Amino acid sequence: MNEIGEYIISLSNVDKYFGTNHVIQNFHLNVRQGEFLTLLGPSGCGKTTILRMIAGFEDSSGGTIRVQGERVEDKEAFERDVNTVFQSYALFPHMTVFDNIAYGLSVKKVPKSEIKERVKEMLELVQLMGFEGRKPAMMSGGQKQRVAIARALINRPKVLLLDEPLGALDLKLRKQMQIELKRLQKKLNITFIYVTHDQEEAMTMSDRIAVMNGGVLEQLDTPDQIYKHPKTKFVADFIGESNLFDGIAKPAESISAHMENGTIQKEFTVLTASGIFPLVQNVTEESCSVTKEPLDSGSGLPLTVCVRPEVMKYSKCPVEGFSLSGVIKNVIFVGSQYRSLIVMDNGYEVRVNRIKPDQTVSEGERVFLFWDLEDASCIFQRKEG
């Protein structure tokens, strides 16, 4: 088991109320040293609130927050070893770039000569040499952004908190700054906790992503795992495109369970409103405990199966085990992909993305859906209690 002290930031059972509004609910989050962790979620889900509680601008209503294993709930923001890059930059308008960057050192009474040296170092790091005499009002968004980063980094914090730092930049500058931020993070080996509601940004930059919804942590995983194996319907829906089938899984008639590295692979048949299809699932301790129900209970197990549009396939004749058919409604070329919309017999619309056009079928034609069994991921309905 991991010791709490091993994590640089650790939140457990954190709650936050604004009045009666329960905005963060029983939140757990452990962040490793040197990690790039992103909080991702829709607007109002509580990302900023989490950052503000870590920084010390907001008190938590319950639970513990640890920085390097040490509880910080009673520490003021100025006593905490974390620094923040604000979304609006919050550069002091009455100070020059030099004074802004030097601020963190000058309030600590660091000698002038050292301040000068370290500011210079920072200016080089963010490539703003020659701007030290300017006021923030005379700089572009991207330049202000760099000043904000330099100002936060000069204290050599253990953790840098960034609240949508690229939100105000245009697409091209954003991409460029994404690369630069990642470079900085690697070079300095500082832990970044990064807030964004841009999925693509989260996917490309993060070591791990914490997907939040309504103040609840939905899933904490690597970008790859989040995409391929969403644990909740919300995550499946929020991250990328997905086709979701709600249904009931019953053990397949020809029970063929086989062991592989300690996990048992079991075959099921899933019955949904749109049709029937097979499912292979690793039966582990974990999946049993999530459902609180033995996987092979006779009545079948309610679940949702997620199949991404780019792994969804169709053919003109039925595929063994699958009984999912629909009519192609339309095919749209969007530059990199051909997107088809297939309407199932019960009205459910399934999306299929292909790199190449399919000349053999045309709109209005009936097709049969299938996929490689390992491409489907399965979401168990969470049981209360």
Binding mask 140-169 for another protein (x = CB under 8 A): -----------xx--x--------------
How far is C-alpha 110 from the geometric centre of its chain's CA atoms? Answer: 39
Q: Is 20 in the site for another protein (CB under 8 A)?
A: no
Q: Is 199 in the site for Mg ion (CB under 5 A)?
A: no
Q: Is 374 in the site for another protein (CB under 8 A)?
A: no
Binding mask 169-208 for ligand ATP (x = CB under 6 A): ----------------------------x-----------
Q: How many residues bind Mg ion (CB under 5 A)?
A: 1
Paired tokens of 254: 């020809």
End-to-end CA distance of the chain: 24
Residues contacting 215, CB < 8 A, separation 6+: 16, 22, 23, 24, 25, 27, 45, 46
For another protein, the closer CB: 50 or 342: 50
Q: What does DSSP say about strands 263-272 and 276-283: parallel, antiparallel, or unpaired?
A: antiparallel
Question: What is d(CA 249, CA 328) in angstroms, rounded to the nearest whole number?
Answer: 27
Q: Is 57 in the site for another protein (CB under 8 A)?
A: yes
Scanning 18-26, 61-69, 150-158, 318-326 for contacts with ligand ATP by CB under 6 A, the matching segment is 18-26
Distances (CA, A) of 217 to 13, 42, 161, 234: 11, 12, 18, 11
| Least CB distance to Mg ion at residue 87 (A) | 7
Binding mask 43-72 for Mg ion (x = CB under 5 A): -----x------------------------
**Where would I find the beta strands (DSSP E) of 19-164?**
21-31, 36-40, 62-67, 70-71, 82-85, 159-163
Residue nearest to Mg ion (CB): 48
Among 30, 47, 48, 56, binds another protein (CB under 8 A): 56
Distances (CA, A) of 194 to 49, 101, 167, 231, 238: 13, 21, 12, 22, 18
For Mg ion, the closer CB: 49 or 269: 49
- What values do phi and psi take at 69, rounded to 5? 80, -5
The site for another protein (CB under 8 A) is made up of 55-57, 76-78, 83-84, 86, 88, 90-94, 103-104, 107-108, 135-137, 151-152, 155
The site for ligand ATP (CB under 6 A) is made up of 18, 21, 23, 41, 43-49, 197
